[in-house]
Structure 1
């Protein structure tokens, strides 16, 4: 097949992916601005927000992973042209994401005492607790928003969630400035002000997307609330069947990178700082892969609805090729600017030297990290989640983490050895997930040919 058959789809892929990329990068940017604003208060305050966010981030990853199940089901119903089926999936999904938001809030409050047992300074924990309690409550509006977001993504209407995210970012920055430092009629609340800014901005995000969808006629059939008689355990089970393994995938990956931070911290403050710089840069480029991955989910889901499996493979492989080209460009950038990029974060020469060596490894794993994210998106579009969940567990924890620990601690290679382990984990994941996708799509084509 000619290369043009794949590259011709780049425009359609990017049309779906770009708003998701922008929204994800916007969240990263606001997180960076939050760190800068809180950092001006002092290192104890910055450490307190970091501690408070640590547990919330794990809960957030699990919740978002679960909500991703809505997108392929909506995409499939859209491909079939069945709006009533789409409405049912959306409404049931929204109920589930709301319940998950409430459950995560209660769980985070329940495990709050863990913060006292992480060997952190007493003054840091004391500041972190009120911040943590408020941010934990913001899980409720955030998960409600995820229900709306994954629904619109499934309909290939990715711009609405992007608009909501941009508005949220603006509100968050303004409120943070007013409430952290005290401005005009607003009191100086310091890191509690940062938490309130996060909470209010997430409620604004939900109100905005609900208002926009309610006002647009094309969403009217979907926005009609389910009657009690329409609620179906079958639909709930279908979403949960897809959502639970997807949440586990997120947990396995987030867990590995969290473990890498902890391992790096055992070598001292400077190696840990270098590790954080490299992770921040790698996370930024990963947001691009997330966008292309969602585009793969949507477009593969559409073709599942149409039962056009040859076209499905062509479109999926166009996404794989697109992310390979994009991440190859990032890899070259990391290689060329490895000594300059750390200067954005620090002037400490030792930290810069360590971070520079890590960016070399990060450059290599751009390709595997991007590919595994997009192939996972394609498999999600196929509604294949159980085996990929097992694959990610094996890649990250049976293969990757032991390599991280052996090279980093046993051979005393430090953060560089840890990152070689991360490269091993991501490459293993990418290869196994690709083989899984290739096998399933060939099987679908073969089965359809046998029926005809």
Structure 2
């Protein structure tokens, strides 16, 4: 037990630091931009949801690389893992062009669709465009980090993430208000900082992949085009991408519903989500660790050991979220006050945080057991349950609680956590009911 937990923490802590660093960067960026006024908090929050949806569609590539490489690493066949990573990069290049086109042509239309005010759309259009350009680099970066996590190099992934986050944070502080002789660009400066950080991170990832990692994995040997493997990568990426997109689109509608309550309610919602993301992101870290360990055991031909590993990750992740939830419950008001001096905004945000402090445990269970299911290669199940929970439970309940029962922001958040609770428990039950004798390393059709 002790050795198992030590292994989990050795993998999870660097991922935890990396994801927490991303969360902290997003939080500090929101605080910096928030000094411009609550309208700009609302803009950043709405754009974050838009970008979450854009990222979700293509995030399946990174998740697929993560679990396939973990299985290949466990099976001692990293040549196939490298080839699959190359195929994933080819897909990323195609989708990056698409993202650039969408940002250039439709940034203001996407903002308008959220139901935000005309002032919000006018002030946030160029910022949205810059975020799409940054996302074109971001999907490459996510795929590369999926590879690093797949081989267990979570410390290297952490270091690269810290460098990128530092660039984004420093750039936001410098360019938003014109510090140190730089131009005062306001919200546009914050968007440029994110673009700069993602672009430099892509260069660092390319260098690490083709130089330091080449010594061990021969990463400079190009992969011959194999349409069976390409179809596997595309199919798995599609399923995991649609799964994430189903969740993110539901969150987009959730935000659009809250936007109807007014800009102050929307700002409070985004402050609360930003603070609660300190629980969301660590949940992602433990979920990623579950994928690594379960995927390795599948590759080694010992999937039942993955069951034990998944359980241990869930226990550790839950203990962490209990401790974090306690801190959020105690300090909800002063933390929310950091974001804005508007009392209507920070008091409502603190109330939402207090109610959610321990409910986020179910989000942790969802992420851990979803990570386990990815490690097993059970991507079709994740797609099905995500669609069902998002569109049969979450969106209808959010509409009902907001517009029929008139419960305001609290109604929206009750719908959110009912959804996460059902989703998390459903994935957990499926994991323990898996027929372990049927689990094999994922192969392309025809192999």
Report the equivalent of 1:24.
19
The answer (yes or no) to whether the contact 1:69–1:243 under 8 Å persists in 2 is yes
Of the candidates 76, 79, 83, which is equivalent to residue 81 of structure 1? 76
The answer (yes or no) to whether the contact 1:21–1:291 under 8 Å persists in 2 is yes
Deviations along 1:77-134, one digit per CA (max 9) or x if unpaired, are 1001112111111111122222222222223334335147445455543443333333
Of the candidates 301, 304, 313, which is equivalent to residue 310 of structure 1? 304
Q: 1: distance between equivalents of 2:182 and 2:255? A: 36
CA apart distance, 1:58 = 1.6
Q: Cα–Cα, structure 1 residues 425 and 51, in superposed 2: closer, same or farther, change >3 Å?
A: closer
Q: 1: distance between equivalents of 2:178 and 2:351? A: 41
The answer (yes or no) to whether the contact 2:402–2:412 under 8 Å persists in 1 is yes
The answer (yes or no) to whether the contact 2:4–2:309 under 8 Å persists in 1 is yes
Report the equivalent of 1:261.
255
The answer (yes or no) to whether the contact 2:389–2:423 under 8 Å persists in 1 is yes
Q: Cα–Cα, structure 1 residues 8 and 441, in superposed 2: closer, same or farther, change >3 Å?
A: farther
Report the equivalent of 2:136.
140
The answer (yes or no) to whether the contact 1:375–1:434 under 8 Å persists in 2 is yes
Deviations along 1:12-69, one digit per CA (max 9) or x if unpaired, are 1121122222222222222233233333445555555555554333212222233211
Q: 2: distance between equivalents of 1:195 and 1:259? A: 23
Greater displacement, 310-319 / 70-79: 310-319
Q: 2: distance between equivalents of 1:256 and 1:358? A: 19
Report the equivalent of 1:297.
291
The answer (yes or no) to whether the contact 1:364–1:423 under 8 Å persists in 2 is no
Structure-to-structure mapping, 1:412-423, within 5 angstroms: 412-423=406-417
Report the secondary structure of 1:68's partner residue: helix
The answer (yes or no) to whether the contact 2:58–2:237 under 8 Å persists in 1 is no
The answer (yes or no) to whether the contact 1:63–1:101 under 8 Å persists in 2 is no
Greater displacement, 88-97 / 433-442: 433-442
CA apart distance, 1:219 = 4.8
Greater displacement, 425-434 / 271-280: 271-280
The answer (yes or no) to whether the contact 1:161–1:209 under 8 Å persists in 2 is no
CA apart distance, 1:155 = 0.2
Deviations along 1:390-421, one digit per CA (max 9) or x if unpaired, are 11221222022222222232122222222221
Q: 1: distance between equivalents of 2:183 and 2:340? A: 32
Give the unaligned 5+ runs of structure 2.
Answer: 441-447
CA apart distance, 1:340 = 4.5
**Structure 1-normalised TM-score?**
0.88
Q: 1: distance between equivalents of 2:135 and 2:213? A: 30
**Structure 2-normalised TM-score?**
0.89
The answer (yes or no) to whether the contact 2:49–2:251 under 8 Å persists in 1 is no
1:248 aligns with 2:234: no
1:410 aligns with 2:417: no
Q: Cα–Cα, structure 1 residues 23 and 185, in superposed 2: closer, same or farther, change >3 Å?
A: same
Q: 2: distance between equivalents of 1:181 and 1:202? A: 21
Q: Cα–Cα, structure 1 residues 440 and 152, in superposed 2: closer, same or farther, change >3 Å?
A: same
Q: Cα–Cα, structure 1 residues 174 and 424, in superposed 2: closer, same or farther, change >3 Å?
A: closer
Q: 2: distance between equivalents of 1:412 and 1:113? A: 30
The answer (yes or no) to whether the contact 2:376–2:439 under 8 Å persists in 1 is no
The count of aligned residue pairs is 439
Q: 2: distance between equivalents of 1:94 and 1:213? A: 12
Of the candidates 374, 384, 388, which is equivalent to residue 390 of structure 1? 384
CA apart distance, 1:354 = 3.4
The answer (yes or no) to whether the contact 2:56–2:242 under 8 Å persists in 1 is no
1:328 aligns with 2:322: yes
Q: 1: distance between equivalents of 2:187 and 2:334? A: 31
Q: 1: distance between equivalents of 2:332 and 2:126? A: 39
CA apart distance, 1:444 = 3.6
Q: Cα–Cα, structure 1 residues 357 and 441, in superposed 2: closer, same or farther, change >3 Å?
A: farther
Report the equivalent of 1:449.
none
The structure with the larger Rg is 1
